[in-house]
Structures are given as structure tokens and as C-alpha cells.
Amino acid sequence: MQKIKEKANRCEMCTKPGCIVGCPLDNDIKGFIKSVKEENYKEAYNILSKTTVLESVCGRVCPHEKQCQGACLREIKKSPVKIGALEAFVGDLAIKNNWKIRGKTNSAYHVAVVGGGPAGLTCAAFLKKNGINVTIYEKHDHLGGLLYHGIPSFRLPRDITEKTIKKIIDLGIEVKYNEVLGKTITLKQLERKYDAVFISIGANMPNKMKIPGEKLKGVYGGNAFLENKTELDCQDKTIIVLGGGNVSIDVARTVKRKGAKNVIIVYRKEEAELTADLDEVMAAKKDGVKFIFKNNIIKILGKNKVKGVELIKTRYKKVDGKELLENVRGSRHKMDCDYVISAIGSHANRRTMNSLNLELTKNGKIKIDKKGHTSKKKVFAGGDAAGSIGTVAWAARAGRNAAYEIIEYLKKKEGNKNV
Ligand SMILES: Cc1cc2nc3c(=O)[nH]c(=O)nc-3n(C[C@H](O)[C@H](O)[C@H](O)COP(=O)(O)OP(=O)(O)OC[C@H]3O[C@@H](n4cnc5c(N)ncnc54)[C@H](O)[C@@H]3O)c2cc1C
């Protein structure tokens, strides 16, 4: 507790707190830290609960340096208030003491939420808090989405995810597991059965590398690898991971923990251009992950299974005043390896998206307006499936704001059943 108070006491209670502006969820950071300073922890939790239900999760995995902490007054001296740690502390205390999320009595309305990741869970929680009955339809036999089958447990402990989800479901939310939109259930069926539908099915299909050898045994997509917990024998293997984002770092650190001898991340640009968070890059290096920068994989070698990769060096060339990356002629070289895991981005499941008969963006995501409305009147969408910025907090924000919009929609419906 002493350490937490010390952290809280570093907050200067700014008149115009940048941290709140930096938080995708608009959490009242100044307000909750003030309560922590006063040792009124339950009040701190109540303040956070107004805007979020993922305190313990966001406190751990948000890219704080790009969000709240990046906008902290103390960031000027490179020592921001540790807002993430304080939020996680309050969230954990709420779990430990079984502090409930406050809710209103039930109305006669019932909404279906499809997909139980951060967007769906948050939407369901804010609907239920406001008295709307909710049923979540989830493809897997567990909730959490990428909190569970994306972010590795060494960064987000499973029990924290599970207890956070339990607290939300305990509000009285019904869950139907192993239900796949577009397969076991259609959007039309949901539209008929419910007063409104919120779709938050994520976008976790790995992008293809589009190079020869991609279909060989031993080539995996990073997102699918983490989601399906592919039982890969990594013991003493050499594994090449392609990509410079957080997913490639998570994959590399995961296979390292599974016993891989050499784990090498290949990135086509320079180290300074990695899109992964700096902390994560440092942690990967500490784990023994190696990096090869300014190289591209142009071919995966092997007959039936992976034997190695062919790489080519890259460099920047100025064309019409713009710096463009190009392959360097005559710089091809080979490397042996046992597996190749690509982590070069992800997309939504095209078949599912096309089955919905909703207007889509040119990237194949669900087209929504600023308030989460899709092209169908009673259907709303949010999170990665609808092109949110790909973080937990932005997905949660989309879910929460859509919940408020659904409530407005229900209020305006003919024969209002009292929201
Ligand atoms: C490896 C990895 C690490 C990450 N690390 C971080 C991090 O440290 N910090 C951070 O802020 N963000 C991180 N992210 C991004 C973040 O996890 C996502 O932006 C966020 O989870 C998106 O939430 P969502 O609810 O929109 O989708 P998801 O979390 O993908 O949830 C979608 C849910 O819908 C379900 N579903 C899918 N299809 C169907 C269907 N047809 N029918 C029914 N259910 C369906 C899925 O099973 C899942 O439960 C990471 C992502 C990955 C892949």
C-alpha cells in the first residue's frame, strides 16, 4: 500500500489533466488518483467504473506511454505518474473484495452481443448496468477474445482475465458459447429475436506473406498461432518470426518460452521504426530474441516442410522526394530454420463479413458511423471488426459508446418498453 500511495502522491492534480484526454476511455484519472491518495479505494473503483469495466486488464496492457502516461505533465521529465499500475491496483482490489458493478433493474429490452472480446464484454456490461438484458454469442468455449487468445499470459495473467470477465457476467449476462455468427447463427435470426444487435467479432485472421513456400508445413500465421494455441514442438528449434509489431514480439516471446533455441525476428525496416512498444522490444531482447533489421523474406525454402528462408536486404531510396523502401539487388542470402511465423497484420474473416449483408469498408470491415450504427437500423458494431484503433482500450470505448447509442435507439423505438 505504501508504494501505491507514493505513486499516487506523485500526481500533481493538474487543473487541465492531459492524462484524461490521453485515455481512450476518458477515465477520470485525476479523480480516481485523488481517492487513492485519500485511501478511499472503493470510491476510486466507483469513479473508474463510470467509464470502464476492464480496470485490471487496461492497467496492465494498455500502451500507457502512448495514452494517459504519455500525456502526463511529468512526462516532460520522462517520469510520468504510473497511472497503469494505479488502475491495476484498484481493479485488483475490486476483484479481491468482490466489489460489484452497480446496475439498474431490468427493462423489457433484450440485446444480442456477438463476440466476447473487450468490445463485446464492455458493451454487454454497460447495457446491463443500464437495465438492458443481454445475451453474448461467442465462437469459442470461453470469453475474452484477444485478452485470452492473443495477449500472452506472461503479460496478462489468465486469472486476472477470468476474474474480470466473471465480474461482468455476474451482472446477470447470458452467454451462449460455441455459437459462430455466419455459421451456427445468422444475423437475420438475431435481428428477428432481439431488439438490437452489437457485432464485435474482431479481425484476427493473419495476413498472408504472398511469397513462394508459404503453404509448406511449418509456416504459421502469428494471430492464428496464438489464438488456436497451436501445439508446436518448439524445443531446440530455430524459429523465424516476420514483422515488427507487438504481435511478432508476443509470438517470439511465446515460442522462446516453449523451448525454442533460436528465435529471430526479421523486420524490413530499421530498429527505430519498429511499431512494437519499446518496453516489449526490450523484454524480448532480455528473453534472448534476436533481430535482423532491414531484411525481407522473399521465399520459404523446403520440399514438404520448412528448411529455411531466403532473405534480401532492403534500403531506402528517394523517389520524387519520398523515401521508399526497396530490395537491394544481389543481396539475397539464406538462413536455416524449422518454422516461419508471420506477424504482418491481420484482417476480418471475409466469409463471415460477406454473410452479414452489411455495408463494409474497403478493408473488409463493418462500416459504421461515429456512433457505431451500421447500414442496418437495429445493428451496431465496434472494436477491431469495425476498424477501431487496435488496442484493448479503444475496443472497449467502442463497446461502451455503442451501448449508450443502443439505449438511445431503444428509447426512440415505437412502443417504448421503458429503458
Ligand atoms: C498478440 C496480440 C497482442 C496484443 N497486445 C495488446 C496489448 O498489449 N495492449 C492492447 O491494448 N492491445 C493489444 N492487442 C490488441 C487488442 O487485443 C485488440 O485490439 C482487442 O482485443 C480488440 O477487441 P475486440 O473485442 O474488437 O476483438 P477480439 O478481442 O478479437 O474479440 C472478438 C471476439 O469475437 C469472437 N468471434 C470471432 N468471430 C466470431 C463469430 N463469427 N461468431 C461469434 N463470435 C466470434 C472471438 O472468439 C472473440 O472472442 C493485441 C493483439 C494481439 C493479436
Q: What is the CATH number of domain 110-203+348-412?
A: 3.50.50.60
Of 20, 5, 67, the closest CA to residue 393 belongs to 67
Residues 6+ apart with CB under 8 A from 95: 56, 160, 163, 164, 167
CA end-to-end span of the chain: 41
Question: What pTM did the predictor assign?
Answer: 0.94
CA distance 233 to 109: 49
pLDDT of residue 102: 81
Angle between helices 83-96 and 29-37 (to 10 degrees): 70
- Can you say whether residue 209 is alpha, beta or left, with left for phi > 0 and alpha for psi between -120 and 50 degrees? alpha
pLDDT of residue 230: 72
What distance in angstroms lies between residue 281's CA and the mean position of ligand 1's atoms? 21
Which regions of 143-213 does DSSP assign to beta strands (E)?
A: 174-176, 196-199, 205-206
CA distance 28 to 340: 44
CA distance 188 to 319: 50
What distance in angstroms lies between residue 202's CA and the mean position of ligand 1's atoms? 5
10-residue stretch averages of pLDDT, the chain, 419 residues long: 89 93 96 96 97 98 92 84 96 95 86 98 97 97 96 95 96 97 97 98 94 96 86 94 96 96 97 92 97 97 96 94 93 97 95 96 96 96 95 97 97 72
Residues 6+ apart with CB under 8 A from 52: 25, 27, 58, 122, 396, 400
pLDDT of residue 414: 63
- Architecture of the 206-345 domain: 3-Layer(bba) Sandwich (3.50)
CA distance 180 to 113: 12
What distance in angstroms lies between residue 388's CA and the mean position of ligand 1's atoms? 11
> Cα–chain-centroid distance for residue 314?
30
Residues 6+ apart with CB under 8 A from 215: none
Asked if CATH classification 1.10.1060.10 holds for the domain at 2-96, the reply, yes or no, is yes
Would you state the cell numbers that stand for residue 47, as one nine-digit string? 469513479
Q: Give start-end residues of each CATH 1.10.1060.10 domain in the chain.
A: 2-96
Ligand 1: residues with CB < 6 A are 61-62, 114-120, 137-140, 145-146, 150-151, 179-182, 200-202, 204, 223, 226, 246-247, 250, 352, 383-385, 390-393, 395
Which residue among 122, 352, 392 is best mutated to probe the pocket of ligand 1, counting the most ligand atoms within 8 A of its Cβ? 392
Residue 233 half-sphere exposure toward CB, CA atoms < 13 A:
1
